[in-house]
């Protein structure tokens, strides 16, 4: 006849119940506070790039345009961090703030010495 060990039963319940409790907490916290998970995504939705015809960029490299960063949110400033890519290789990071519905922030030319240059949003958040 096997003897029931009372000391192992609570430990087994704790081990199997803990992951369920953690999963329930994560699910409830994301439902109760959806802004925790989507704050970054929401700020990035208001950041956009505009490509303008510009004489200096055209002289620098044929087909080049001035890249301007815009915040389209009507009343909130956005802090951002961008990564600049030149010829497909990450180069530097650009950090700054965009005013609400402002004129935009010129970043540079889309082509330099015949090679493409672009910026990607790495991080954006509301102020």
Question: Is the separation of the CB atoms in 71 and 77 below 8 Å?
Answer: yes
Q: Are the beta carbons of 100 and 63 closer than 8 angstroms?
A: no
**pLDDT 10s digits, 62-121:** 999 999 999 999 999 999 999 999 999 999 999 999 999 888 999 999 999 999 999 999
* pLDDT one-digit tens code per residue, 12-51: 545 555 555 455 554 445 444 455 445 666 999 999 999 9
For the entire predicted model, the pTM comes to 0.68
CA nearest to 48, candidates 122, 121, 116 = 121
């Amino acid at each position: 006849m096997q003897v029931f060990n009372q000391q192992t039963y609570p430990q087994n319940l704790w081990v199997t119940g803990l992951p369920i409790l953690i999963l329930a907490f994560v699910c409830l916290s994301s439902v109760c506070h959806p802004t925790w998970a989507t704050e970054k995504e929401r700020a990035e939705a208001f950041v956009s790039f505009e490509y303008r015809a510009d004489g200096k960029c055209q002289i620098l490299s044929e087909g080049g345009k001035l890249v301007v960063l815009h915040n389209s949110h009507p009343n909130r400033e956005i802090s951002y961090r961008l990564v600049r890519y030149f010829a497909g290789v990450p180069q530097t990071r650009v950090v700054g703030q965009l005013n609400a519905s402002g004129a935009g922030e010129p970043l540079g030319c889309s082509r330099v010495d015949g090679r493409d240059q672009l910026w990607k949003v790495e991080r954006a958040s509301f102020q």
